[in-house]
Amino acid sequence: MVPAMPSKPYLLYYWPSIQGRGEFVRLLLEDAGAPYVDVARQPPAEGGGVAAMLKLLEGAAPGALAPFGPPFLRHGNLVLAQTALILHWLAPRHGLVPKAEAARLHAHQLQLTVTDFLVEVHDTHHPIASSKYYQEQQPEAKRRAAEFLANRLPKYLGYFERVLRANGGKFLVGRGHSYVDGSLFQLVEGLRYAFPKAFRALEPKVPRTLALADRVAARPRLAAYLASGRRVPFNEHGLFRRYPELDAG
């Protein structure tokens, strides 16, 4: 029932040195075993590099809507931006979401909630301006991160845990693995990296989420990807950053 693989590889455009939002797309493509080129990570001599990405951002693709920012995906004439929309478009092509319309809408709704959550994760270290260094907004970051850990993190994780429970405990949507399960895995990975103490304290409240993350990590193609050099390590340039002064005490 899975559609045939596309004959041409997808072209993914994202910052080459971070996981960030692009990682949610990489995870889907890896899980699908779909051929793709991570354009900005290719040598400039072969048409890659950040410059190739920025060129498309400025609207160099004739007839296509210019994206506001990365990640974006190119396939034939289609250029698609916004992480959640890219996943919504890709998943049915690779059997990574149920076919029923209501289930597809629900998966997209959950992914958009992940999107909202990611903004809040990012703003723990950048509460004033993305264009400034963390060190230029550290007092504000401490205040925002404390609020995030006290209120927002338990609220979001509790929500996903409740959705899992209401759906039988194993999958967020439908009766099998879908791309939003992959996204919840990535949230767990990121939170464990960025806020190890706060996350550990919450673990007893989200057993289904933790079990889901373990199952996702064991999917053969994803396990191979996670162990490979294609997985960029977490670092202090991305969305999830480990600044011990922002973690729980």
Structure tokens at 141: 């970051």
Which member of 20, 67, 182, 238 binds a second copy (CB under 8 A)? 67
Contact between 132 and a second copy by CB under 8 A: the answer reads yes
The alpha carbon dihedral of 228, 74, 13, 102 has a sign of negative
Q: How far is CA 205 from CA 60, 155, 166, 219, in A?
A: 48, 11, 15, 24
Where do runs of H (alpha helix) occur along the chain? 22-32, 50-57, 83-90, 101-125, 138-147, 153-166, 179-194, 196-202, 207-217, 220-226
> How many CB atoms within 10 Å of residue 188?
22
Q: Is 138 in the site for a second copy (CB under 8 A)?
A: no
Number of residues that bind a second copy (CB under 8 A): 41
Q: Is 170 in the site for a second copy (CB under 8 A)?
A: no
User: Which residue in this structure is represented by tokens 């699908």?
Assistant: 32
Site string for a second copy, 7-46 (x = CB under 8 A): ----------------------------------------
Q: What angle do CA 9, 182, 146 make, to 5 degrees?
A: 125
Choose the binding region for a second copy from 27-35, 42-50, 78-86, 183-191 (rule: CB under 8 A).
78-86
> Is residue 60 a contact point for a second copy (CB under 8 A)?
no
Nearest to 79 by CA among 162, 174, 13: 13
**Span from 11-19, 142-150, 184-192, 208-216 in contact with a second copy (CB under 8 A):** 142-150
State the residues that interact with a second copy by CB under 8 A. Answer: 59, 65-68, 77-78, 80-82, 84-85, 89, 102, 105-106, 108-110, 112-113, 115-116, 119, 123, 127-129, 131-132, 140, 143-144, 147, 151, 156, 159, 162-163, 166, 173
